Structure 1
Amino acid sequence: MLEVERPVTWVALTGFMGVGKSHIGRELARALLLHFIDLDRYIERQMGLSVADIFRHLGEATFRQLEAEAVAELVQKDFLVLSLGGGTFVNPENRMRLLQRGPVVALWASPQTILERISRRPGQRPILDAPDPFERIQKLYAEREGIYHQAPLHVSTDGRRPGEVVEEIIQQLWTHAKASD
């Protein structure tokens, strides 16, 4: 069997919505020759409903329960890059499971960049259904920032090409792997 040299066989990406977790996750999985799962898309496939419809018809509490069940399942897998939803890491139980499985990489972008990115796909972010989405982003960002800082690795996506971000993540994963030996 072909042995592939890679720093990890499992990694999760966390961070606020719009920081690039899904796009970067796909590229990272390709670079590391791992499977890629976007947690929100995984839940949508299992439920046969979009995240927006789950929020709208079943409520956020139901979505968060489905999310926790999916995390519990996916931390058991190997050869995986897992892109989390923006609120997944906020749940203490999810955070504990993910950090124990690790490593977890927090991706960062400024609230202005986040607003620009999510404005390209209106209606896709039910948690931002608010009169002033930028104010809502700033409030949620401030609430979640300290939690995202609990991830051991951190990479900014602001003004950077995906390839650059992926390279930095891989470098940090090698450093992390060597420090863990």
Structure 2
Amino acid sequence: MNAVLIGFMGCGKTTVGRIVSQYLKWNFIDTDDLIVEKTKISISDIFKRYGEAYFRQIESQIIKDISDVDKCVISLGGGAVLNEQNINTLKGKGLVFYLKGSPETIIAHIGDNKDRPLLHTSNPYNTIKELLNKRHPLYVKNSHYSIDIDGKDPETIAHEIINILKDAERRK
């Protein structure tokens, strides 16, 4: 079984995922890190040089490449749900958790991080709202569990996920 974390950029997938993996003694995989490793350039540079479509193509290949792992916590990029095949590849191998945050929480987490290529706009807050409105239904549709992150620290969120995973293991 795996735990797959989905949600918008800045919702804490990587931070929470690392906590869950350490607690369970599972491996941790961040698909964004694997993309950087494979291409040898930053995600921001991939977007600038080659565009979002190219990034999504690499992302899908990486997800396919890791589809047979077990006992892993997998953090997917915020837009991975835009390609339904990405989620379907991993959904049968574990539980998918949507880390759901408000635009206010996300903007507080991101700050003015320049490594977020989709937020290189004149009004990042409005961009977050627009993208969240588009992606929220996909996050909900493609997750087994939705975890509200607003007002919670990463440890609390991680332990919610850990408890669900333990319950699922007991029911097997």
**TM-score (norm: length of structure 1):** 0.90
The residue type equivalent to 1:165 in the other structure is I
Instruction: Say if 2:12 is the partner of 1:34.
Output: no
Q: CA deviation at 1:11?
A: 1.3
Which of 118, 140, 164 is equivalent to 1:149? 140
1:81 alignment partner, one of 73, 79, 85: 73
Q: How many residues align?
A: 171
Gaps of 5+ in 2: none
| CA distance in 2 between partners of 1:152 and 1:134 (Å) | 28
Q: What is the aligned counterpart of 1:134 among 111, 119, 125?
A: 125
- Partner Cα separation in structure 2 for residue 36 and residue 126 of structure 1: 24
Q: Note the aligned Cα RMSD (angstroms).
A: 1.3
In the alignment, is residue 47 of structure 1 matched against residue 39 of structure 2? yes
- Corresponding position of 2:53: 61
| Residue 92 (structure 2) pairs with residue 100 (structure 1) | yes
Unaligned runs of 5+ in 1: 1-8
* Alpha-carbon distance in structure 1 between the residues aligned to 2:93 and 2:82: 16
Q: Distance in 2 between matches of 1:17 and 1:169?
A: 19
Runs of 4 or more above 6 Å deviation: none
Say if 2:5 is the partner of 1:13. yes
Instruction: Give 1:136 shift.
Output: 0.5
Q: For the residues of structure 2 that align with 1:106 and 1:68, how far apart are their CA atoms?
A: 19
One-letter amino acid of the structure 1 residue matched with residue 136 of structure 2: E
Deviation at 1:77, TM superposition (A): 1.3
Q: Which string of whole-angstrom CA distances, capped at 9 and with x for unpartnered residues, describes residues 50-74 of structure 1?
A: 0000111111111100000000011
TM-score normalised by the chain length of structure 2: 0.94
Q: Matched residues in 2 for 1:176 and 1:141: separation?
A: 29
Rounded to whole Å, the distance in 1 between the matches of 2:128 and 2:153 is 23
Q: Does 1:160 align with 2:134?
A: no
